[in-house]
Chain A
């Protein structure tokens, strides 16, 4: 036996050969390293998301964007000329404006009617010759305040007001929650409190099927079924083909399974003792459900609600297909509030819909469009992140109570 041999060796040759200490196994260390790397990759993902969203948005807010003015130079310009005659049409130029012809940047130092005096070759660009009729672009700084207060989203004109897109997102989400909250919650209460085990096991898979259908299919459903339905109910002249209402309702249907399954979990977690106590006091089933179980599960239901909102905000394909393909720019005070601005039967693009539409085309890197998409993405990310954190807070709260 090995032990005997070992013992005899031990006796013969003092303390040298064997140690019962744990041997370092290189293979296992490598494996453990790999496993740790897999785990840490998710941190990289988050860091990557935050990094690219922030840096690209930062580029936008630090960049000089060039807005078209529709103003053209009226004469041929050679590389040394500093007095340039411009056309009368287009936006007005002012002293101090930074303008651009093709790639050359100039600064206006003086103006005399249609003659502008410029400093050539500003910002390290090279003066060149230009043919008459070339359009002038004007520099425009993008700042965060404008973005958060302006109600026009027109990147080509240098206007980056987030509100038209935010409006689309909020409107569809509110409509969606008007559908998902009552339907989802009532379904959850029915399945958890009323339905027999047999009914439950047949009906739950149906909700799971709803949850498993790709969102693009819901988009098709919104456009082909819901929109015509709304148009036949409210009148073709009142409902646009692409409209917020249709997209919102379908997003609502789409998140019903999420809402109901999370709420049902919360209702299920309520201890049986609570129900039995209430029944013992003579409460009816409805009273037990609505006045005992639901309040007890309220934090879980609130979490379900918040996660559903977050899902509605991030939902993309339904709104990209059915809500509209252009931001609904508006001017408060000028546009009728209920007839236009808040009218859910008109089309309005959401943040996600805008990202999909713009990136679906031929998007070139470092263009205004490209950078502005990341700014929208950042906004979207922050909104959903905050909602998810809020939801987690609610979930933890109800866990504390019953575990």
Chain B
């Protein structure tokens, strides 16, 4: 070996041995250490990247599952609930309704047990015949109205647009005249003045439309109406009418020379006319509603609100009535609905029937009264009330279709005529609508229908959590700017309703109950099938199988199966369970077809068996490991005592291996719960709102639901996909926690 021979010689040459010396050693070691450090940092960064991915993944989900949303309801749910209250009022005993307030005043004046409510102006006209009732100790007057102590106070509004003001001089100057003088004049009409603050705000709106005058907010300039020409039209509330009428007369007296047209058609009709361009100013005894606002906007009119006064409703009794001077809000609620006699309200009062005089159903006054006195929520209503609401708010055709799907009541029909129904249901089963046999709708179902068919909440804009937290101000400003009639609310997309609601095509109302139940059903089938088979196979391979070619093939085969992509199992399931064994998996072979539209094998049973085959290799391998960990001495002891192989396995080996087997099974099952692709191939339903009822039902599962929602382009579907992912992850977490718990508990015992 030439090299070795040479080296000692060089070593003895003292200088330049070829090995570094002194500082050079230190330098080289430094270089090597530095290189070591850099690589170490690289290795750590790789690990950090993996952790960062997990954090990013979870953050993305949470980011989309919470955040601000802007919701626009087609119908206000509170308004609907109040409609029910209004119906109760109208149908209470001894109740007389009239659109004419004078008639109501006469009625109360003529009946010693009468009680009624109407605009304060009419009470003022009939002071001698009527007695005003205090509410919670407060009588209506300017002071209690402004402080808000008296509850039955409503604002009076005029609506117009900046465009109209700048183009129609007559209307513009009238608004100026009105805003200048209304507080001084209003008490003559019987109404209460509005606060200075509100008036200033209205004036500011006027100033903005008249920018050419160069007024600063807070300043005010009265314009002299004399000599003003041109025509304009006011339409709207009968309550505001006396006020506008009075002001118009004064306007004319001050010198206006044009022609005005003042119509008392009711608030709703007035706003509609205004939005259609048939009126220049709308008079309203309530704020404009979001739907109305939207219509106006579509027609190019952006309504501006002018608060011009305050109306207090007067609750009055007959002048001879000496026992009622004050009513609490609760008593007031009873007096106009459930109470039959005065004694029902307060035992100290006479046992005489109450005679009620209230405005009719078309009046804004009734709506206002229910709104102010009653506290109604849609979710508190009974099934009957919800059904009645639904009936009054959807078309008969739609109602019939819903009723044919599923009836509303056992013994009554809501939309269909009984004759037609009997005729339809007499048809052979195939042609018969499902409503003939299906169970009646539950209260919750009708509530959901009401939401989807009538309220139709529409999330028009969503914000992510991060955005919601960081840019709250900007979001509030943007929402107010772009969606003036929408409600900005912070929404947790994953909430109680989301978990309990059935699937829906509207993301705002969709839930995952069907999907969760589907997942549980499918997993139940999977476990029932794969647990015994998997453990059996593991026992065979570990305890019984001799080391021969067949058994080695079995083992190799199982290992290979564990590496087959899950989607291939889906294709196997499709060809075998869904297609070849259709009569078995659809339940037809047992005469058990749950749903005639699905008798094609795409059922929970097929899905469960497919997933069973999928996790079988995993389960076998895990169980084998658990069995292998059992000490051999245990087996030998059993066998030595004369136990048979099976007795040894069953009584000694299996109990010891059980925690390991269970842990492995749970891990395999959590894999199955998260599987999506094979179930899509097997034929998960894209949309089912009915809960699965057995192994032969159509199915959808949580991951399938997530997949479908993720594939939709709309942002709200992404939000509910994130929410569904959270539900799925919680399910998996619970399962894995169970695995850890089992492992800990049983390993202690060993």
Contact = CB atoms under 8 A, between A and B. Distances in A.
A384 B554 contact: no
A215 B680 CA distance: 14
A290 interface: yes
A216 B575 contact: no
A58 interface: no
Per DSSP, chain B at the interface is helix
Nearest to A195: B47
A187 B43 CA distance: 6
A214 B703 contact: yes
Contacts, number: 247
Nearest to B50: A256
Contacts of B64: 224
Nearest to B677: A316
B233 interface: no
B47 A42 contact: no
B576 to A, nearest CB: 6
Given A39-B541, A42-B558, A42-B616, A186 B43 contact: yes
Interface in A73-117: none
A21 interface: no
Q: How large is the interface on B (under 10, 10 to 19, 20 to 34, 35 or more residues)?
A: 35 or more
A225 B565 contact: no
Nearest to B558: A42
Contacts of B57: 213, 217-218, 221, 225
B557 A46 contact: yes
Q: With a 10 A CB-CB cut-off, give which of B43, B544, B646 has the most chain A CB atoms.
A: B43
A216 B707 contact: yes
B736 A212 contact: yes
Contacts of B567: 314, 316, 352, 355-356, 377, 380
B571 interface: yes
Given A187-B47, A216-B703, A52 B40 contact: no
B480 interface: no
A218 B58 CA distance: 10
Contacts of B559: 392
Contacts of B300: none
Nearest to A36: B540
Interface stretch (A8-16, A27-35, A121-129, A132-140): A27-35
Interface string A378-403: 00110011011101100000000000
A321 B554 contact: no
A45 B710 contact: no
B557 to A, nearest CB: 6
A376 B639 CA distance: 52
A333 interface: no
A356 B43 contact: no
Q: How large is the interface on A (under 10, 10 to 19, 20 to 34, 35 or more residues)?
A: 35 or more
Contacts of B675: 214
Interface string B43-64: 1111101110110110011001
B563 A38 contact: no
Contacts of B154: none
Contact of B35 (A43, A286, A373): A286
Interface string B525-536: 000000011111
A385 B560 contact: yes
A48 B558 CA distance: 14
A318 to B, nearest CB: 10
Contact of A320 (B36, B544, B677, B686): B677
Interface string A226-268: 0000000000000000000000000001001100100000000
Contacts of A356: 567, 677, 680-681
Given A49-B572, A385-B560, A313 B565 contact: yes
A359 B704 CA distance: 13
B537 to A, nearest CB: 4
Contact of A41 (B533, B560, B644): B533
Contacts of A284: 32-33, 35-36
Contacts of B533: 38, 41
A178 interface: no
A314 B545 contact: no
B525 to A, nearest CB: 16
A260 B707 contact: no
Contacts of B53: 210, 253, 256
Contacts of B121: none
A36 B39 contact: no
A153 interface: no
A45 B568 contact: no
B536 to A, nearest CB: 3
B399 interface: no
B676 interface: yes
A144 B33 CA distance: 58
Contact of A215 (B43, B570, B674): B674
Contact of A352 (B33, B532, B565, B703): B565
Interface of A: 25, 27-28, 31-32, 34-43, 45-46, 48-49, 52-53, 56, 182-187, 189-191, 194, 203, 206-207, 209-210, 212-221, 223-225, 253, 256-257, 260, 284-287, 290, 307, 310, 313-317, 320-321, 352, 355-356, 359-360, 363, 365, 373-374, 377, 380-381, 384-385, 387-389, 391-392
25 contacts: A28-B644, A34-B536, A45-B616, A48-B572, A53-B568, A56-B575, A187-B46, A190-B46, A212-B732, A214-B676, A221-B56, A221-B61, A224-B64, A284-B35, A285-B40, A286-B39, A290-B39, A314-B564, A316-B567, A355-B567, A355-B571, A359-B574, A373-B571, A387-B563, A391-B563
Given A186-B42, A219-B707, 20 more contacts: A34-B536, A43-B553, A43-B554, A45-B616, A46-B557, A186-B43, A194-B40, A206-B50, A213-B674, A216-B703, A224-B60, A285-B36, A286-B35, A287-B32, A355-B677, A363-B683, A381-B565, A381-B568, A384-B565, A392-B556
CB-based closest 4 A-B pairs: A314-B565, A214-B674, A38-B536, A186-B46
